[in-house]
Amino acid sequence: MEEWENRLNRHRDELEWLFMELYNDRAALNTLEAEMAAAFAARSAELKALDAAREADPDWYRRGSMQGMTMYTNLFAGNLKKLAQKLPYLQEQNITYLHLMPLLQMPHPHNDGGYAVEDFDTVDPALGTNRDLADLTGKLRAAGISLCLDFVMNHTADTHRWAMRAKAGDPVYQAYYCCYPDRTIPDQFEQTMPQVFPGTAPGNFTWNQEMQRWVLTTFHPYQWDLNYRNPAVLVAMVKSMLHLANLGVEVLRIDAVPYIWKTLGTTCRNLPQVHTIVRMVRMILECVCPAVILKGEVVMAPRELAAYYGTPEKPECHMLYNVSVMVNLWSALAARDTRLLKAQLDELDALPEHCWFVNYLRCHDDIGWGLDEDEERRLGIDPQRHKEYLYRFYDGEFPGSWARGELYNYDPITGDARTCGTAASLCGVEAALEQKDAAAMDLAIKRILLLHSAASFCKGFLMLNSGDEIGQLNGWDYHDDPDRADDSRNLHRTAFNWHKAALRRRPGTLQNRIWQGLTELRKLRAHACFAPDAAVTTWGGDNPAVLAMVRRCGGQRLVGLFNFSEQPQTVRLDSPETLGLEAAVTLAPYEAKMI
């Protein structure tokens, strides 16, 4: 227990100070420390050895060799046991980070893709058992793959045992949620608390007939917001986190974390108490299971992200999703204009060195067109017209569009909408197949590889969405399934096509061309300029269709030039002599050139 005591002693004073400042509840703090000690004692020798190795190598997740993939267990393989049999496929791609979409017990069929959780300690029976999960994590570790699971911090399903006890009238469990007997407090919240999905009913609160109370439901009526003002909630949630860690989970993606603290008169987002809680969670993990790291889901502007990393002395999340770059990559592709993308990259690259990102093109969710409207206006771009152009371009309605997608949460009053679709369909593969147009297919594949190349060059590491590595298309048949038809995100939540995957080995096929392109991209990341301490910046040029980025590390330099146009482009970089480049560089359509 010496290592436990040493770790706890490093953090005890700060942990106690923050907990007591937030809750002023010594008994709850004692309960928390008892749960931490019990979790450490229950941790296996193999996982404790991993803890020691990660403490000795804290940059393990920042290396150029990191390669991520995200997927739904059922769509990829059926269940956890069958997924374990597919590890050779992941190893073939040098995957080192596997994010499985929510797999904890959930109501069926409506569960917001698993983000309505009934039991934070138990795998959903449709996917397997806790034993299956532990077996899988053991096999992943042996293969050099770290497992990431979602941990939904903000809410539970309304069928969670806490919610069921609350509905039955138990005041102890009603205090686990934000419940009110009349509209007085809800109406006060509504004055300053915006809706996540504007224009949808019933607002931020839902009336529960059984309990005769209004319940805060920020996301969906069947997802009840937890009350983190109650220390019992934090202690219970931490206990579940540590339970997952002891099953071998190495990365916890804390979902919707900016929303977890509510205060009247505020937006109930990004409040200081959120950071107090995340900082405490970071310290708790460092005490009990330092091999486990935190990835935050923070869908906010770059200027709001730095706070979620904390400081080098008092860190919070280890890494965040790079939502801003994902959105701006798609915007740049449709507009053939990288100026907004460059501006966002400049903001992100200016964040402190310890800030780290998971970069991606597509995930389980939609593309929300949350661009920097002030920067758009500065560049002479009308924000509303540009947003409407983008979602109409990517649903294929705009003249000349190559994309095939669908709208999500379209609001005719505000003109707001998001976009759904797989990377291949949004990049033109589906349209090229429909038209039997080989030239259009060439351009579509070049778009896919261009976007992945640019994302991979950014600070952080690249995470693929399962199926994108073989050019998987939209699943339009979801319209025929009454359980899925009301959510257009199911367009890109498609079952993995193993028949198409087999074509990755056949030269000249769509699957082989994308696969080989991504293989070359992984080889590039072995360059010294993808080391954990590499500096990444953009580079100015005279052609807005071309994005220029520079990586530097240990006296070495790597320049990446990315043509976001279907036409050849020439770019003259600012002060090219500094880089030792020619005055002008010409790029083929959608070319990514490394110099």
So which residues are the catalytic ones? 255, 297
- Listed as own residue / partner, the contacts of 502-509 with beta carbons closer than 8 Å and 24 or more positions apart are 503/470, 504/469, 504/470
Write b or e for each residue in 102-125: b if 16 or more Cβ atoms lie within 10 A of its Cβ, otherwise e: bbbbbbeeebbbbbbbbbbebbbe
Element (H, E) at 12: helix 2-23
Structure tokens at 401: 């569009």
Pairing relation of β-strands 461-465 and 357-359? parallel
CA 475, CA 523: separation in Å to the nearest integer?
31
Pairing relation of β-strands 97-100 and 68-71? parallel
Dihedral sign for Cα atoms in the order 423, 428, 430, 432: negative
CA 453, CA 517: separation in Å to the nearest integer?
9
Asked if 187 contacts 140 with a C-beta cutoff of 8 angstroms, the reply is: no
For residue 132, give the amino acid letter: D
Tally of CA atoms within 13 A in the half-sphere of 466 that contains its CB: 24
Dihedral sign for Cα atoms in the order 184, 190, 196, 198: positive
Structure tokens at 575: 């002060």
CA 137, CA 148: separation in Å to the nearest integer?
10
Query: Helix 438-457 and helix 323-335: axis angle, to 10°?
Result: 150
Positions of E strands within 218-280:
223-225, 251-255
Asked if 541 contacts 556 with a C-beta cutoff of 8 angstroms, the reply is: no
**Got the DSSP string for 61-107?**
GGSTT--EEEE-HHHHTSSHHHHHTTHHHHHHTT--EEEE---EE--
Structure tokens at 317: 């999340």
Structure tokens at 158: 């309304």
**CA 24 from centroid of its chain's CA atoms:** 34
Q: Exposed, middle or buried, 380 (CB in 10 Å: 0-12/13-18/19+)?
A: exposed
CA 510, CA 449: separation in Å to the nearest integer?
12
Radius of gyration of the chain (CA): 24
C-alpha distances (whole Å) from 592 to each of 55, 453, 472, 479 are 37, 7, 22, 37
Q: Minimal CA–CA distance to 180: which of 220, 210, 207?
A: 207
Q: 548: how many CB neighbours lie within 10 A of its CB? A: 24
CA 16, CA 22: separation in Å to the nearest integer?
10
CA 246, CA 43: separation in Å to the nearest integer?
6
What's the DSSP call for residue 474?
A: P
Q: Minimal CA–CA distance to 177: which of 211, 218, 228, 220?
A: 228
**Got the DSSP string for 500-515?**
HHGGGGSTTSHHHHHH
